Amino acid sequence: MAKAKSKTTYAVEWAVTARDDLDEIIGYILARDPMNALKVNDTIEARANTLDQMPQRGRIVPELKFHGVTTYHELLVGPWRLMYRIEGKTVWVVSVLDGRRQLEDLLLERFLRP
């Protein structure tokens, strides 16, 4: 009898900045459409949780790859970009950004925050 392949399971953790990003997104939507805010929150969190299996499936962030940075992956969730890195058996969600905006602008804003 053949052995079943064991699946490697990763822990999915959220960096503080990613939680802050999600809170900001949900707060913005909540002010306009409370029911949709809950749905968006659940969708983003559920998609992040799928990274416990095969996190390499997400694409390398193209704007970073252009500069030789290949350690960050992303999943697209609606208009949002869920960015993460894999460290050993842990997947760190590092940001949730609006995919309709230029990544360079968003990162510059982040670096300039007090």
CATH number of the domain that residue 40 is part of: 3.30.2310.20
Contact 100, 79 (CB under 8 A): yes
Residue 3 domain flag: no
The pTM score is: 0.83
Question: Containing domain of residue 93, as a range?
Answer: 11-112
Per-residue pLDDT of 53-84, as tens digits, reads 999 999 999 988 888 889 999 999 989 999 99
Is pLDDT at 5 greater than 60 in this prediction? no
Average pLDDT over residues 27-47: 95
Residue 92 domain-assigned?
Answer: yes
Give domain status of residue 1, yes or no.
no
| CA–CA gap between residue 57 and residue 90 (Å, rounded) | 15
Over residues 38-57, mean pLDDT: 96
Is residue 6, in this structure, part of any structural domain at all? no
Q: Is residue 107 part of a domain?
A: yes
Residue 89, SS3 per DSSP: coil
- State mean pLDDT over 88-111: 82
Residues linked to residue 59 through DSSP beta bridges, in sequence order: 74
**How many structural domains is the chain composed of?**
1
For residue 2, pLDDT over 70 is answered with: no
The dihedral built from the CA positions of residue 41, 49, 60 and 68, taken in this order, carries a sign that is: positive
